[in-house]
Amino acid sequence: MSDQALSEDLRQFKTHFDERFVKLYYSRDKKILICKLKADYVPIEHFKEAFHRISDFVKDGDYEKFIFDKRSLRAFHQPSMEWYYIEWKKEMYAHGLKIHRKILPNESWFEKSVMIAKQNILEDYPDNIIDKLDIKYCSSIKEAIEV
C-alpha cells in the first residue's frame, strides 16, 4: 500500500505514539485503535512493552475496535501470539475492546502459522475468550475500519 493511500485511510486518526517497532493511531469518535507494526520482527519484550502502553490507553478511553496491521512482519513468533491472545485480549475485553481486525502479511505461510497457533491456543487454553470476540481478517486499513 502506498504511503498516500495509507495516509488517506488514517486522515481521521491521531497518533498516540510512534516508536521503533509500533505506531498507534486512534479515533475517539470512531472508538477505534490502529496498531501498525513497523518492523519485520518485533522482539517479545518490545511487543509486550508496546501493548502495555496500548492497554493503558484503552483503560483511559472508550474504544471498541482494535485493528492490528502486521503486514511488515516476516517472522512468526508463537510466544508473542500466545501472550497477545491469552493475556492481553482477555484484559482488553474487560475494558470493552471486543472487535478485532487483523491485517496479515501477504504470505500464505504466515496465515497458516497464525491458524495453527490459534488452534493450539484453543486446545491448550480452554478458558480463553476468543469465542466472545468479533475477529475478522482484512486486506487493508480501509476495509478493517469499515467492517
Reading the chain (147 residues) residue by residue, the pLDDT tens digits are: 444 555 667 888 999 999 999 999 999 999 999 999 999 999 999 999 999 999 999 998 899 999 999 999 998 888 898 999 899 999 999 999 999 999 999 988 888 988 898 888 889 988 888 889 999 999 999 999 999
Length reported for the chain = 147
Question: Strands, E, within 53-113: which ranges?
Answer: 65-69, 99-103
The helix (H) or strand (E) run that includes residue 45 is helix 44-60
Q: What pLDDT score was predicted for residue 1? A: 45
What is the rounded distance in angstroms from the CA atom of residue 74 to the CA atom of residue 106?
Answer: 10
Domain 3-146, CATH homologous superfamily name and number: STAS domain (3.30.750.24)
**Cβ(50)–Cβ(21) below 8 Å:** yes
From residue 38, alpha-carbon distances to 45, 52, 83, 90 in Å are 15, 17, 20, 24
- C-alpha cell of residue 142: 480501509
Rounded distance between C-alpha atoms, residue 105 and residue 109, angstroms: 9
State how far the Cα of 40 lies from the Cα of 5, in Å rounded to an integer: 21
| Per-residue pLDDT, 3 | 47
Query: What 3-state class would DSSP assign to 82?
Result: helix
